[in-house]
Amino acid sequence: MDFTQLTDLEFDTEGNLYALQYANQSAWKGDFDGSVIKISADGTRTTLLSGNGLESPSALTIGADSAVYVTNRGDRPGGGQVLRIENIKSVPEPSSALGILAIAAFGAGCLHKKRSY
């Protein structure tokens, strides 16, 4: 996964890097859905929030409570807000070879079961 229009980066106390995308695709396309992506020291990426109300985010910080705080809709006078995103353990994106192999093995197992009937 490549990044598009990064607006902020922040490290937490455990060494994870958080990347904030202003838009997930080129802004000239008119879609300003952004995302917050957590990147662990081993390179594993986990999307904490993408779209779902996250629009034109401009900055982020990690709070003392380990939550991620993001300024949202910063390009709209009078419409900006601060979002609090719980920094929970989530399923990593299958961007690593191991994740892709696991998904492939699961799919092959399901296909084998289907043929057995």
State what percent of residues in the chain have pLDDT above 90.
Answer: 44
State the pLDDT at residue 4. Answer: 80
Average per-residue pLDDT in the chain?
Answer: 79
Give the tens place of pLDDT for each residue, 82-98.
Answer: 999 987 654 455 555 45
State the pLDDT at residue 1. Answer: 56
Residue 116: band (very low, low, confident or very high) from pLDDT cuts 50, 70, 90: very low
- Average pLDDT (100-116) is 48
pLDDT at 19 over 90: yes
Q: What is the dihedral of CA 28, 93, 65, 76, to 10 degrees?
A: 10
Q: Which fold has domain 6-92?
A: Thrombin, subunit H (2.40.10)
State the pLDDT at residue 77. Answer: 83
Note if the pTM is more than 0.75. Answer: no
Which two structure tokens, joined as six digits, stand for 25? 């695709």
pLDDT at 114 over 50: no
Give the tens place of pLDDT for each residue, 47-60.
Answer: 999 988 899 999 99
Beta-bridged to residue 78, according to DSSP, are: none
Q: Which residues of 38-56 are buried (b: 16+ CB within 10 A; e: fewer)?
A: bbeeeeebbbbbeeeebbb
